[in-house]
Chains A and B, each alone.
Chain A
């Protein structure tokens, strides 16, 4: 009798222990912990690619392959984003019809601030990306907003990124449950499989960086937004972060969400935060 009782007791204890361990695991995933997530993210990539210098991850596919790195260094002599950069500089300083400029909408006149975007607006309770802030600036000054996926927005963000080159990404998550939820929502989107091809962002950029998908070498997710906006040979032009997200979704046969939808804004918040400390390298060039 006593032996049977002991076996039952041990079984119950075992089941309880398993339940608690499972609950702890579930709790760990459900409860946003941005600091732990960022550390785990960085550790994953640095352990997987021990030869790649931390600051080099921002160079995307070029950090994964020595030959491509050489090609990129040569490309940087006459970078294909140069025209966009010039146009962006001119657009940035040209006054609106009311006489004000973009500089009036940003801290430090908008120079060297790209590394702080996206921010979390505690009044609004939402993530504000640089692209969104630029269009809000335009609208507040009586100008029509630009398309989030076309050249004007890419040129403006290219110039702003250029003024932040070398500065470490510095995304803040305020002590606000809505900010942590936005981060968590971005993380959920990043790992969620979408489209008929059943790919998540992580399928390519966490599980397969350095591998080829058709002719392209996949970029690591660490630092992937630090190079935005980018000139892509595939696009024969510049592309914003919005363009990158929507085209990635289309490629896996998922209907893209609206540029600057809550999901994409939160995704940008998550991906930028986990790349904190890595330098801004935008505007970038990609195959």
Chain B
């Protein structure tokens, strides 16, 4: 057993494994952030063409970027996903309001 014969080697291997896992995790998260942020940004741009962006989408996108700059990719990904959901909700609002506004019209 490697553990009993070479306890130091096991500790070093464990540390290396942990380090490599955390590196892989960090790299993966950054890539995840970039993907998530790009999706959110694209949705927000679409809301922009519909002239209906939400301030909360903008602030959540900014917070995602800030978290990524600080190396907190888990949070950055979560915020990007939240921003994407907000942007998509504003798009749904624009689409439904194309006709829905007429219900409020005073006649």
Please determine whether chains A and B interact with each other in the same assembly: yes
The interface of chain A, by Cβ under 8 A from chain B, is 26, 28-29, 37, 40-41, 44, 187-188, 191-196, 198, 200, 202-203, 206-207, 250, 253-255, 257, 263
Neighbour of A253 across the interface among B51, B55, B101, CB < 8 A: B55
Give 16 CB contacts A-B under 8 Å.
Answer: A29-B107, A191-B104, A193-B93, A193-B97, A194-B52, A195-B54, A195-B55, A196-B56, A196-B89, A196-B90, A198-B93, A206-B104, A206-B106, A207-B104, A254-B54, A255-B58
**Interface check B86, CB cutoff 8 A:** yes
A29-B102 in contact given A192-B97, A196-B86, A255-B58 (Cβ < 8 Å):
yes
Query: How extensive is the interface on chain B, given as a class?
Result: 10 to 19
Chain B residues in 8 Å Cβ range of A263: 51
List the 10 closest pairs (A to B, CB-CB), nearest first.
A255-B53, A191-B101, A192-B101, A191-B104, A29-B102, A44-B106, A253-B55, A196-B54, A192-B97, A196-B56
Q: Can you name the residue of chain A whose Cβ is closest to the Cβ of B55? A: A253
Q: How far is the CB of A232 from chain B (nearest CB, A)?
A: 20
User: What is the number of contacts between chain A and chain B, taking CB atoms within 8 Å?
Assistant: 55
The interface of chain B, by Cβ under 8 A from chain A, is 51-56, 58, 86, 89-90, 93, 97, 100-102, 104-107
Q: Can you name the residue of chain B whose Cβ is closest to the Cβ of A207? A: B104
Q: How far is the CB of B58 from chain A (nearest CB, A)?
A: 6
Q: Can you name the residue of chain A whose Cβ is closest to the Cβ of B97? A: A192
A193 near B55 (CB under 8 angstroms)? Answer: no
Q: How far is the CB of A182 from chain B (nearest CB, A)?
A: 16
